[in-house]
């Protein structure tokens, strides 16, 4: 028996030794695999560098020059320092008005989209007939291209279009409003189009957040006698705060770049009353061929967007830091 046990121990130790010996080549063999993986990722990294970083660096350099396509090579352009940025911030009232107008449209659109999206999300928490069909219908606008949405609403808002026909039928007036000849009506048309297009995104995000809220706090509040309104405002909405902030951040990044709908609806008119910052930069670069000046405007917008996103994400960042402590 002792000999048998010694044999098992020795055989077991030899097996462990064999496993150790086999593990060494496998560990060594993982190094070529890692190098192979890095080599396979290299083409994608090079493409990303060429597509993203290089044009960004060229545009940043361009913003400090007076270069235009008619002045020859960019390398021969004269460096003007921060003159383009100073011109934009101090003397270019059209740029400042475009920024303010974009912020105004964005604020109204985000507020309406949030209220409508949250209302729809609360409604769809319940079971009712035709819920699946309505859910797909409400998400459909988000899947349509912005250019198509802009052109569709441009036709709807025509003087003899369906919207004016409906208004004349309801109010009995002789003629509908001229949506694109009045500044308030043109801005309203842009806001209506944008809200119709992107409310489904708020609806989808907030509905996902409501479905992820744990049931125990809600049940405890109901047992303690809280009304449905108190449960919503004091329990559900505070727990939904991170999801709401994420929804606002996603939409804020997109709506600052508002271009397609405005371009198809009003071209920035009447005059420049609906000209957003993206449309103004487009006109600078591709209509007036002031590429350096437009690049400076684009980087100012980029900086402002980063600051805005930083402020919007501050509550979530503070909450994460407190959780780590």
Query: pLDDT for 256-300, tens place per residue?
Result: 889 999 999 999 989 999 999 999 999 998 888 899 999 999 999
Contact 252, 308 (CB under 8 A): yes
pTM: 0.82
Distance (Å, rounded) from C-alpha 19 to C-alpha 14? 9
Phi-psi region of 165 (alpha: psi -120 to 50; beta: other; left: phi over 0): alpha
**pLDDT at position 19, please?**
44
pLDDT tens for each residue of 1-52: 444 344 343 444 444 344 444 444 444 445 566 788 778 888 888 888 888 8
Distance (Å, rounded) from C-alpha 228 to C-alpha 250? 30
**Among 106, 178, 200, 193, CA closest to 147:** 193
Report how far apart, in Å, the C-alpha atoms of 198 and of each of 139, 253, 295 are. Answer: 9, 13, 28
**pLDDT at position 30, please?**
52
| Ranges in the chain, pLDDT < 50 | 1-29
Scored b (16 or more CB within 10 A) or e, 53-72 reads: eeeeeebebbbbbebeeeee
**pLDDT at position 8, please?**
40
**pLDDT at position 68, please?**
85
Residue 79 phi, psi (nearest 5): -75, 125
Distance (Å, rounded) from C-alpha 149 to C-alpha 151? 6
């Amino acid at each position: 028996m002792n000999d048998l046990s010694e044999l098992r121990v020795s055989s077991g130790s030899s097996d462990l030794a064999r496993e150790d010996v086999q593990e060494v080549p496998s560990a060594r063999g993982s190094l070529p695999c890692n190098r192979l993986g890095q080599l396979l990722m290299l083409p994608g990294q090079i493409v990303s560098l060429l597509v993203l970083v290089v044009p960004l660096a060229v545009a940043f350099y361009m913003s400090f020059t007076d270069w235009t396509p008619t002045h020859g090579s960019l390398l021969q352009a004269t460096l003007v320092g921060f003159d383009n940025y100073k011109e934009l911030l101090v003397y270019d009232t059209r740029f400042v008005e475009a920024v303010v107008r974009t912020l105004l449209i964005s604020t109204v659109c985000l507020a309406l989209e949030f209220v409508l999206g949250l209302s729809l999300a609360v409604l769809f928490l319940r079971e009712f007939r035709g819920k699946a069909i309505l859910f797909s219908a409400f998400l459909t606008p988000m899947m349509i291209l912005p250019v198509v949405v802009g052109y569709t609403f441009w036709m709807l808002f025509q003087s003899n279009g369906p919207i004016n026909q409906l208004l004349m039928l309801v109010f009995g007036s002789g003629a509908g409003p001229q949506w694109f000849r009045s500044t308030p009506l043109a801005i309203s048309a842009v806001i209506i189009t944008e809200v119709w297009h992107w409310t489904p995104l708020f609806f989808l995000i907030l509905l996902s957040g409501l479905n992820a809220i744990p049931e125990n706090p809600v049940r405890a509040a109901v047992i303690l006698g809280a009304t449905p309104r108190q449960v919503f405002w004091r329990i559900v909405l505070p727990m939904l705060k991170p999801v709401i902030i994420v929804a606002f951040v996603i939409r804020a990044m997109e709506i600052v770049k508002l271009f397609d709908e405005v371009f198809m609806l009003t071209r920035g008119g009447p005059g420049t009353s609906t000209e957003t910052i993206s449309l103004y930069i487009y006109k600078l670069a591709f209509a007036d061929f002031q590429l350096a000046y437009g690049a400076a405007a684009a980087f100012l917008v980029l900086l402002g967007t980063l600051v805005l996103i930083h402020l919007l994400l501050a509550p979530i960042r503070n909450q994460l830091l407190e959780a780590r402590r």
